[in-house]
Structure 1
Amino acid sequence: MTTGVLLLHGSSGTPDLERARILEAEGYDVLAPQWFDAKISEIPLESFPLDELKQRNKRIVIMGVSRGAEAALLLGALDERVDAVIALAPTAYVWAWNDAGHQTSAWTWQGEPLPFVPLDLTWQPDDDPPSFTPWYRQSLKKYDGDAARIPVERIRGEVLLVAGGDDRVWPSVQFAEQISLAREARPTRTVVAARAGHRVILPGETPQSGGQRMARGGTEEADRELGELVWPQLLRTLAG
């Protein structure tokens, strides 16, 4: 193998095995671990299996969605073995894990919790199922997120950002724009579809279900359109 792909699922907690098979059919060595069980709290970034991929491959690409994209961008910034990052529905910040009002960082690095943006616990949804995008925006207004910003300018290789304009989980288009600005002249590409939601559907995939009950935005048609749009860009990033 020449390129290994670490494929990171989101907060549903379910590995993207169908996506892994699609990437394997393109000739890539893919690991799609289940990287959390009950909660996304103080997970060591060193626990992701980069060592295993590096033993078999010359290049490592990390591809993650949502909270998995958060981990992907952090690993790209902190681990020099990462050659490229593909972030679907990305965030520009490290976020808290809220457990009955007790908030902790989602991640640790070298034994220390990373700075995080707390969630504003006074916020209440006004729709059902709830759209959480306003919650993240309100939390960023209430708390200073500078210390929790992911240092994406430290990612050595290319970054591909994919976001839907109708994302109702968090404002991924806004986050993608912030990441792109922070990267300045470093190789960064952003693919956005205005009508798509939080879950892009790549060619050959079936729509996902499960996870926490929430509004995710988009439609199957729009999410597939975003998948078709980003697919050639994704293959270019994987190929290096």
Structure 2
Amino acid sequence: MDERAVAEEILSGFVAGTLLRCPEATTGVVVLSGSSGRVDVGRARLFADVGVSALALRWFGGQDQIPGICEIPLEIFFAATDRLVGLGCRRIVYVGTSKGAEAALLVATHDPRIDAVVAISPTSVVWGNIGPGRDGVSWPERSSWTLKGRPLPFVPADPNWKARYVDGLVSYRGLFEHCLTAFKKEAGKAAIPVEEISATVMLVAGGDDALWPSLEFAASIVQRRQDAGKATRLVSAPGAGHRIVLPGETTPRSSSHAHGGNDRADADLGRDAWRCIRELL
């Protein structure tokens, strides 16, 4: 697509981020990054280049926003949908990665205007906060999300877990696996109600994810939706990690924790996922 036809707008206020608007577009995509807080303009541009309007949303850490992923109002995402609908988009797609995938799946359970969700390296349950809330306090732990001012149930973390390392970096996968076992009752209450999602759901997960067990989470989502009579598309690869790289992206690895996978496997899964995303669009 001719990039001169893409109008870029920096948004602020309750809906913050970068909007890449394509004239005549009837599909709008909301792009949600993970816990890095990055406004993923590069990924949004992938979508704009195929003729849809894309909103790379800043959903925490910006001016006048909650500094960490702590009790983030789901209403922020509803407002993002409002913005795209107001531009004339009749089809709304959410594309989220990691914590962004957690958000996308949750939002789709409450907003019937969403037509499709692509959850990359997803989770099947709600987890606690990453970083502080508006009070600047990171602990005691709180939910990542609220709805109508009420925190959503979440699986708590056990600070006494024993870390393991991959390539010299801490792998948090064991923490999440441990917490699911240690807090089974809480995990049941914190399950994302994916059975209620009316949108098309596509999951992308690597079997070598060292951050959390995204492929196992994805399999749980598939099974629960299947039990409810709903189909789910799962795109996966055993050797890919948490960082799934779509064509043309240069997403860096974190220097603070292990992703698993490797550059080739992550990119190969990204190419497979992009083909499926294009079909979905």
Tell me the TM-score normalised to structure 1 length: 0.95
Partner in structure 2 of residue 22 of structure 1: 46
**Which aligned pairs between 1:10-49 and structure 2 lie closer than 5 A?**
10-37=34-61, 38-48=67-77, 49=80
Deviations 1:87-126 (A, max 9, x none): 0000000001166541000000111100000011111313
Partner in structure 1 of residue 111 of structure 2: 79
Inter-partner Cα distance in structure 1 for 2:83 and 2:253: 30
Partner in structure 2 of residue 137 of structure 1: 177
**Which aligned pairs between 1:109-128 and structure 2 lie closer than 5 A?**
109-127=147-165, 128=168
Inter-partner Cα distance in structure 1 for 2:148 and 2:162: 35
Inter-partner Cα distance in structure 2 for 1:159 and 1:60: 12
> How many positions carry a matched residue from both structures?
237
Q: Given residue 17 of structure 1, which amino acid in structure 2 is its aligned partner? A: V
Partner in structure 2 of residue 4 of structure 1: 28
Partner in structure 2 of residue 160 of structure 1: 202
Partner in structure 2 of residue 236 of structure 1: 279
Q: Given residue 23 of structure 1, which amino acid in structure 2 is its aligned partner? A: F
Residue range with higher mean Cα deviation, 200-209 or 66-75: 200-209
Partner in structure 2 of residue 102 of structure 1: 140
**How much is the aligned-residue C-alpha RMSD, in angstroms?**
1.3
Partner in structure 1 of residue 190 of structure 2: 148
Inter-partner Cα distance in structure 2 for 1:114 and 1:120: 19
1:156, distance to aligned residue in structure 2 (A): 0.6
Residue range with higher mean Cα deviation, 163-172 or 201-210: 201-210
Q: Is 2:28–2:52's contact at 8 Å kept on the other side of the alignment? A: yes
Partner in structure 2 of residue 59 of structure 1: 91
Inter-partner Cα distance in structure 2 for 1:24 and 1:209: 25
Does 1 or 2 have the higher relative contact order (CA < 8 Å, sep 6+)? 1
> Which structure has the greater CA radius of gyration?
2
Q: Is 1:163–1:198's contact at 8 Å kept on the other side of the alignment? A: yes
| 2:267 pairs with one of 224, 236, 240 | 224
Deviations 1:183-202 (A, max 9, x none): 11313100111111101111
5+ long unaligned stretches in structure 2: 1-24, 62-66, 132-137
Q: Is 2:164–2:174's contact at 8 Å kept on the other side of the alignment? A: no
Q: Percent identity?
A: 44
SS of the aligned residue for 2:38 comes to: coil
Deviations 1:165-214 (A, max 9, x none): 1100100000000000111131310011111110111111123245x710
Q: Given residue 195 of structure 2, which amino acid in structure 1 is its aligned partner? A: E
| 2:237 pairs with one of 193, 198, 204 | 193
1:234, distance to aligned residue in structure 2 (A): 0.9
| 2:221 pairs with one of 148, 170, 179 | 179
